[in-house]
Amino acid sequence: MTASIIYTGNLRCEAVHIQSKSTLETDAPSDNRGKGERFSPTDLMCVSLATCMLTTMGIKAADMNVDITNASADVTKHMASDPRRIAKIEVAVYLPGDNNEKDKMLLEKTGNNCPVAKSIHPDIELVIHYKWG
């Protein structure tokens, strides 16, 4: 088992990661009856994409002896209605350093092919920009 989740009422859930016992709470977004005081489930999907990209790039960078410490990402979610769903996810990835073009291409390919990116339904538009230096 990966996590245990309980609905705590008022459109909120609490999830416990089984291995680490770390917790996170979710809230419905303010545009869908929630207070927007926590990440929503759809927010977490977008955050999962960005963190997966950075993590897999970090693994690849370590194998290449390239340091991407302090790399960051900004993620923007665009919702659609009828049915209500994520229509588009925009990710801006900021990477430190002055790496050669081959290293940049390899790291970007790694980010684009992270497990979460490969798990997202093809109807969801992914817009990913990499910014170096």
Query: pTM (2 decimals)?
Result: 0.95
Those residues whose C-beta lies under 8 Å from the C-beta of residue 133, and which sit 6 or more positions away, are 95, 96, 97, 98
Burial class (CB within 10 angstroms; exposed 0-12, middle 13-18, buried 19+) of 96: middle
Q: What pLDDT score does 42 carry?
A: 97
Angle (CA) 11 13 14, round 5°: 155
**What is the pLDDT averaged over residues 86-91?**
98
pLDDT tens-digit readout, 59-70: 999 999 999 999
Q: Band of the pLDDT at 108, cuts 50, 70, 90?
A: very high
pLDDT tens-digit readout, 34-53: 999 999 999 999 999 999 99
Angle (CA) 124 71 114, round 5°: 40
